[in-house]
Structure 1
Amino acid sequence: MDKIVENSVFSTMTKQQKDAIKLLFEDDLTDEEIAKKVHRSTSTLYNWKKDLKFRKAQDEYALIAIKSDYKNQAVHRLVYLMKYGESDNVQLQAANSIIKLSGLYNQKDDPEVKEAQLKMLKANATKAEAEAEVAKAQSEQLHTVANNTREKMAKLSVEELRSIAKMVGEDND
């Protein structure tokens, strides 16, 4: 557990503070026993525990300790399943997971991923073409309506146009 990120708050702690954080995490000893083990007084340990930086370092250590523990357990479980899984499918899935976790799997080289990406690109192109056709049809329909309206208006007399303008003006009031 000594491989804590160098730029972390934990890494800025003194050796005694780091040791205290580790002992506090394990939760097997009293504060008095921890203070004695790190060669500090109980009041010093108490002050450290109140300090925000020390508490942040405790959080970092706990997160890394827990992550490391679960990660190791998960990898051991995957190896077990790969070797002794109930079915070929379980063994294959465990093997794939191990390969992916180890960084040996490159998704870009996977033929299934490439095929899925190609299908997605084709579907998007088909959708774009359909949307363009709909937009074109709507535009043509609007032009037809506009042309019909112009033709009808051209046939109206001046008197009919004044009457329509008067009705529109009354509706707007």
Structure 2
Amino acid sequence: MLDKPRQEAIMLLFEDKLTDEQIAKKVNRTRRTLAKWKNDSRFKAAQEQYKRLVVKKDFESKALRELVNLLDANSEMVRLQTAITILKMSGMMSDNSTPELDKAKVRKANAEADIVEWKADELTGKHQGKDSTILVDDIVGDDNG
């Protein structure tokens, strides 16, 4: 956890109303010290965390209400994008996911499962007597090459 002066500096930097010189003065440090803080990885991480916290607290519910209203938009594309955004916010869909891609992934997984099941049945002889094709991995040729 950062000390009080650094925490206050993060809040003041986020508000973006004062110059770096004024912020340094408010937290009883030099402008040079503030510049060092701004380059520190822990300070940067704390800035990001504070930004997410403030944005979430101040805007998340308003943004979500607006999205819910857009689910009734006239445009089918707006409704689709809104639904996708809400699903992503809820964690039910990732950024690199679409409904079409998710369906394709399910079809692929089902096809792969069918192939594995068929191979297992072939190995256990379940398909003996049925019209089936036998795959040969290695065909040994004659010694002449």
TM-score by length of 1: 0.43
TM-score by length of 2: 0.48
Structure whose CA Rg is larger: 1
